[in-house]
C-alpha cells in the first residue's frame, strides 16, 4: 500500500499542483516540485493526529480534489475537502472496508459513505464498497500497476539459484508478508507434503516476514508457526526462507522460480483486495496458482497468467502444481507477460488522472 501511494503521488504530480501529507522521510522519494508536509510516525494514533493537523493546514489553499490513500485516512480527506471546497475521494483496498474493529466501523464508515468518490483496486473491492454505500455508490476501479521487465532475466535467475543452492530443482515461490490471510502455513501443511512425493527435490522459496503493523494483526508469531508447520509436515529440506528482500533480489527470484503460489484464505473481516504480487510475477513470465478469493481473480487470468482454484480446495491446488511442474510452461510464461502488460504504470497514471478530474487534466 505504501508503494502504491508513492505511485499515486508520482501520477498526480505529472498533471496537478500536488500537496502531499505523509510520514517522515517521504520528501526524499518525491519530485522536488511537490509540496510535502511530513508527519512524525510512531503509534497509529499519533500519526493520524499529526496527519489531521497537517492536512487541515494545507487545506487553507483552494484545491480540486483531496484524496485519501486508504479508507483509514478518509475522514481526514473529507474534513479537509469541506475547508478548501474540493471533491473528497479515497483509494480503498478492501481490508480498510471490511475490518471488524467496532470503533473503526462506528466512526470511519460514515465518512466513507459521504465521500464524493471512491477508487477501488479490484472488482471485488468495488462490490464491497457498493454494498456498504461508500461514496454513495460512486465507485471507479483503477487496478494498481507494475513494472514491466523488458526481457527474460535468465542469467539473473541462474545467479539466484546458485546463491541459494537451488540447482536445477523445481522452485515454488511465495511472496508477501506473513499473515493468516496469506495461507502459507496451511499450504505447507496440506499441499507441500503431497507435492514433494511427486517432486522430491521441489523447493518452496519464501520471501516475506511478519506484519506487526497490519490493520488485521495475528495474535501469534506467524514465522514461528510456519517453522513449526514445516517441521511437522516433514518438509524441512524442501523449504528456503529468505525473509524480507530487496527489489533486486525479488526480481531475480521471479526469474528463477517455476511457479508462484498464492494460497489466500477466505477469512471473516479480512480480504485480499487485489493480489499485486501475482501481477508482478506475471510481468516476469512467472505463472501463479491461486485460490479465487477476494480481488485475486482480477490479478490472475485463469489459463492465461496461471490457474485459479476454488477457495479452500487444497486437493486441486496440489494437483495443478504437480501437473504444471511436469509440463513445459513456455506458452503460459508468454501469455503471463501479455496479461501483465495491461497493468503498466503509465496506464495506471492515465486512469487515475482521468478518474479524479476528467474535465481538467492539467489542474
Convert 243-305 into a string of H (helix), E (strand) and C (coil).
ECCCHHHHHHHHHHCCEEEECCCCECCECCCCCHHHHHHHHCCCCEEEECCCCHHHHCCECCC
Per-residue pLDDT averaged across 213-234, rounded? 78
Q: Residue 363: its pLDDT value, please?
A: 37
d(CA 305, CA 23): 36
Average pLDDT, the chain: 92
Is the pLDDT at 215 greater than 70? The verdict is no
169-198: pLDDT as tens digits: 999 999 998 899 999 999 999 999 999 999
d(CA 178, CA 315): 23
Provide the 10 A C-beta neighbour count for residue 173.
24
The percentage of residues in the chain with a pLDDT greater than 70, rounded to a whole number, is 94
Is the pLDDT at 220 greater than 70? The verdict is no
Which CATH architecture best describes the domain 154-342? 3-Layer(aba) Sandwich (3.40)
Confidence of residue 202 (pLDDT cuts 50, 70, 90): very high
Q: Residue 214: its pLDDT value, please?
A: 52
> Is 0.85 topped by the overall pTM?
yes
d(CA 51, CA 123): 29
Q: Which residues contact 81 (CB under 8 A, 6 or more apart)?
A: 59, 63, 65, 66, 87, 88, 116
**In the chain, where does the domain assigned CATH 3.40.50.2000 lie?**
2-145+344-356, 154-342
d(CA 33, CA 39): 19
* Fold of the CATH domain 2-145+344-356: Rossmann fold (3.40.50)
d(CA 33, CA 155): 39
Contact in structure between 152 and 254 (CB atoms under 8 Å): no
Q: Which of 136-140, 220-224, 326-330 shows the lowest mean pLDDT across its residues?
A: 220-224
91-103: pLDDT as tens digits: 999 999 998 889 9
Tell me which residue has cell 505504501: 2
Is the pLDDT at 310 greater than 70? The verdict is yes
Per-residue pLDDT averaged across 308-323, rounded? 97
Per-residue pLDDT averaged across 329-335, rounded? 91
Is the pLDDT at 361 greater than 50? The verdict is no
The percentage of residues in the chain with a pLDDT greater than 90, rounded to a whole number, is 84
SS3 call for 15: coil
78-89: pLDDT as tens digits: 999 999 999 999
Amino acid at each position: 500500500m505504501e508503494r502504491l501511494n508513492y505511485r499515486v503521488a508520482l501520477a498526480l504530480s505529472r498533471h496537478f499542483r500536488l500537496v502531499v501529507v505523509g510520514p517522515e522521510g517521504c520528501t526524499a522519494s518525491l519530485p522536488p516540485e511537490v509540496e510535502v508536509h511530513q508527519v512524525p510516525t510512531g503509534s497509529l494514533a499519533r500519526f493520524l493526529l499529526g496527519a489531521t493537523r497537517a492536512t487541515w493546514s494545507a487545506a487553507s489553499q483552494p484545491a480540486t480534489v483531496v484524496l485519501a490513500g486508504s479508507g483509514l485516512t478518509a475522514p481526514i480527506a473529507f474534513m479537509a475537502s469541506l475547508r478548501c471546497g474540493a471533491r473528497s475521494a479515497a483509494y480503498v483496498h478492501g481490508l480498510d472496508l471490511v475490518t471488524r474493529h467496532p470503533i473503526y466501523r462506528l466512526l470511519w464508515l460514515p465518512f466513507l459513505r459521504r465521500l464524493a468518490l471512491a477508487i477501488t483496486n479490484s472488482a471485488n473491492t468495488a462490490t464491497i464498497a457498493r454494498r456498504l454505500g461508500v461514496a454513495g455508490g460512486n465507485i471507479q476501479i483503477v487496478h494498481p500497476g507494475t513494472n514491466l521487465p523488458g526481457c527474460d532475466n535468465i542469467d539473473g535467475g541462474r545467479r539466484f539459484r546458485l546463491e541459494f543452492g537451488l540447482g536445477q530443482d523445481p522452485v515454488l515461490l511465495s511472496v508477501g508478508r506473513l499473515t493468516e490471510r496469506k495461507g502459507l502455513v496451511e499450504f505447507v501443511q496440506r499441499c507441500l507434503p503431497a507435492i514433494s512425493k511427486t517432486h522430491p527435490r521441489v523447493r518452496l522459496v519464501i520471501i516475506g516476514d511478519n506484519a506487526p503493523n497490519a490493520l488485521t494483526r495475528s495474535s501469534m508469531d506467524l514465522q514461528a508457526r510456519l517453522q513449526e508447520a514445516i517441521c511437522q509436515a516433514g518438509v524441512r529440506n524442501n523449504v528456503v526462507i529468505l525473509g524480507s528482500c530487496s527489489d533486486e533480489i525479488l526480481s531475480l527470484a521471479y526469474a528463477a522460480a517455476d511457479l508462484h503460489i498464492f494460497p489466500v484464505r477466505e477469512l471473516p473481516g479480512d480480504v485480499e483486495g487485489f493480489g499485486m504480487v501475482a501481477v508482478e510475477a506475471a510481468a516476469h513470465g512467472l505463472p501463479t496458482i491461486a485460490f479465487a478469493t477476494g480481488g485475486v481473480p482480477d490479478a490472475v487470468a485463469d489459463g492465461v497468467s496461471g490457474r485459479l482454484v476454488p477457495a479452500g480446495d487444497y486437493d486441486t491446488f496440489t494437483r495443478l502444481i504437480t501437473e504444471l511442474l511436469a509440463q513445459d510452461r513456455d506458452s503460459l510464461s508468454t501469455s503471463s507477460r501479455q496479461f501483465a502488460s495491461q497493468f503498466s504504470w503509465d496506464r495506471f497514471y492515465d486512469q487515475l488522472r482521468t478518474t479524479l478530474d476528467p474535465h481538467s487534466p492539467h489542474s
